[in-house]
């Protein structure tokens, strides 16, 4: 009986996991109100820590005061166990979030704009004033990427082992970190860029520009794949959900907009008291918006328009710089002008993880095996496209596809031939009056030709009648009746 009971419990747990994966984020683990007048966003971190959390989770609510090297920003590795804390004045540190212990700390004495982990926590890249540098978990400089000049944002593609950067010159560059080779360099032609996030589902880069445009890029294409006009002012923040279906943008016009990446259409928008400077989407669909001195978390804000926020957190006397959700945990990190703050957000993280994909509790041996396996399964940069499902499919009817492409090309050529514009002639000959005169002249020429043809036919008929009369005059009178 005990064996059957345990098997039934395991089966129920498996069904619950499958159901949650199929139906998407649910309200399990989130804050719930008891009365109609209560609101979840009124719950403060002090009240959560004092009345509703156990000792282990209460330790995750803290505020680090780092006033000398700010403003500070944060980034997590894929497993969520380690995070990078870096200040603009040159302070970089790596922390173990499970043990709340400092792993590495160094002072570079140079401006830092961004940083990110590479394939695991042993290596991370830092975008400094002139170039991008790679360090190990002991703080030792490993390599200098001289091709990545004046970088502003960094992103690492784990399945392709590519480090992407974009900077003030407006160039998007890719480098293969497994071989050290420079892969591609694309000129955006849209000026300096300081907003970049990757789409986790297809590894396409999303860049936000100063004219309110968001462009989508892949290393195999020298031109942008998609160009979207999202805001009236500069795009200041951007985030893509883990499924790759939704994109959220924040602009200087104080609007936070949700876009459907399958149709590239606007779903709904939210108003922000101050322009959003940081956006992030959790594994279970919570939207985090950083603006001014506050971080606002919205629940079910992607598919439907939420009426009120889920949670709020205010950093007193400090401007927020970056907000990030911690993977596989109900925790969010706020980087601000005077340090870093950690808050608890119930229902934000995914409770179940695949140990073969990402394991927050792996040891050194498992980490080495995962690194080798990731190298063997590395994807080529040319496989990055908007639709990742195209790879591996077969096009069975090649002739029909060729005929369809040929037909579409002929129709396009026909449309282009019909839309011929008048040539831009010399000065004074392209005015409205001259154009009308030329059109009238063409009409007159056509009518003149018709009238000329009519006169020629009439003259020919008259000539033939005169010839017949002359022939009748030559016939004798006695034989004229036979001529008829």
- pLDDT of 465 reads 56
pLDDT at residue 111 is higher than 80 = yes
- pLDDT of 131 reads 94
Q: What percentage of residues in the chain have a pLDDT greater than 70?
A: 85
Residue 196 structure tokens: 């970049």
Q: Residue 23's pLDDT band (boundaries 50, 70, 90)?
A: very low
Fill in the DSSP letter of residue 41: G
Alpha-carbon torsion angle 16, 22, 28, 31, nearest 10:
170
Alpha-carbon 126 to chain mean position: 22
Residue 246's CB is within 10 A of a number of other CB atoms, namely 21
The rounded distance, in Å, linking the Cα atoms of 154 and 382 is 20
pLDDT tens-digit readout, 258-303: 999 999 999 999 999 999 999 999 999 999 999 999 999 999 999 9
Q: What is the mean pLDDT of residues 31-47?
A: 88
- pLDDT of 418 reads 58
Q: What is the mean pLDDT of residues 229-250?
A: 95
Fill in the DSSP letter of residue 27: S
Contact predicate 295/279, CB 8 Å: no
Q: What is the mean pLDDT of residues 16-41?
A: 70
Higher pLDDT, 367 or 29: 367
Instruction: Mean pLDDT check: name the lowest of 1-10, 114-123, 246-255, 424-433.
Output: 424-433
SS3 helix, strand, coil % of the chain, rounded to 5? 25, 30, 40
């Amino acid at each position: 009986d005990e064996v059957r009971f345990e098997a039934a419990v395991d089966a129920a747990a498996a069904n619950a996991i499958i159901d949650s994966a199929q139906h998407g984020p649910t309200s399990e683990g989130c804050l719930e109100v008891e009365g109609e007048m209560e609101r979840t966003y009124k719950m403060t971190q002090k009240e959560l820590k004092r009345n509703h959390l156990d000792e282990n989770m209460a330790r995750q609510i803290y505020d680090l005061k780092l006033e000398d090297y700010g403003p500070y920003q944060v980034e997590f590795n894929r497993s969520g166990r380690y995070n990078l804390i870096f200040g603009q004045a040159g302070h970089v540190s790596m922390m173990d979030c499970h043990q709340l212990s400092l792993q590495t700390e160094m002072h570079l004495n140079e401006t830092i704009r961004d940083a990110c982990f590479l394939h695991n926590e042993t290596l991370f890249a830092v975008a400094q004033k002139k170039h991008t540098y790679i360090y190990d978990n002991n703080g030792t400089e490993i390599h200098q990427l001289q091709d990545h000049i004046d970088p502003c944002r960094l992103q690492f593609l784990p399945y392709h082992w590519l480090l992407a950067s974009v900077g003030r010159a407006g160039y998007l560059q890719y480098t293969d970190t497994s071989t050290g080779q420079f892969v591609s360099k694309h000129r955006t032609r849209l000026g300096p860029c300081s907003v970049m996030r990757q789409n986790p589902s297809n590894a396409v880069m999303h860049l936000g520009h100063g004219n309110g445009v968001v462009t989508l890029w892949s290393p195999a294409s020298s031109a942008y794949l998609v160009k979207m006009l999202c805001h009236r002012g500069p795009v200041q923040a951007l985030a893509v959900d883990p499924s790759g279906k939704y994109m959220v943008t924040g602009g200087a016009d104080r609007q936070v907009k949700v876009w459907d990446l399958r149709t590239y259409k606007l779903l709904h928008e939210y108003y922000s008291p101050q322009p959003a400077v940081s956006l992030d989407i959790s594994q279970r669909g919570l939207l985090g918006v950083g603006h001014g001195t506050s971080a606002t978390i919205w629940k079910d804000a992607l598919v439907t328009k939420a009426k009120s926020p889920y949670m709020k957190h205010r950093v007193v006397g400090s401007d927020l710089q970056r907000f990030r959700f911690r993977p596989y945990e109900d925790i969010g990190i706020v980087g601000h002008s005077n340090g870093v703050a950690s808050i608890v957000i119930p229902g934000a993280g995914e409770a179940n993880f695949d140990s073969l994909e990402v394991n927050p509790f792996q040891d050194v041996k498992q980490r080495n095996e995962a690194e080798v396996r990731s190298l063997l399964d590395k994807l080529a940069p040319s496989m990055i496209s908007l639709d990742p499902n195209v790879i591996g499919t077969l096009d069975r009817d090649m002739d029909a596809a060729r005929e369809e492409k040929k037909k579409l090309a002929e129709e396009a050529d026909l449309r282009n031939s019909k839309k011929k514009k008048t040539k831009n002639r010399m000065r004074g000959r392209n005015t409205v009056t001259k154009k009308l005169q030329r059109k009238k002249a063409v009409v007159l020429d056509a009518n003149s030709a018709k009238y000329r043809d009519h006169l020629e036919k009439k003259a020919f008929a008259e000539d033939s009648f005169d010839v017949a009369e002359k022939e009748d005059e030559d016939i004798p009178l006695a034989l004229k009746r036979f001529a008829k």
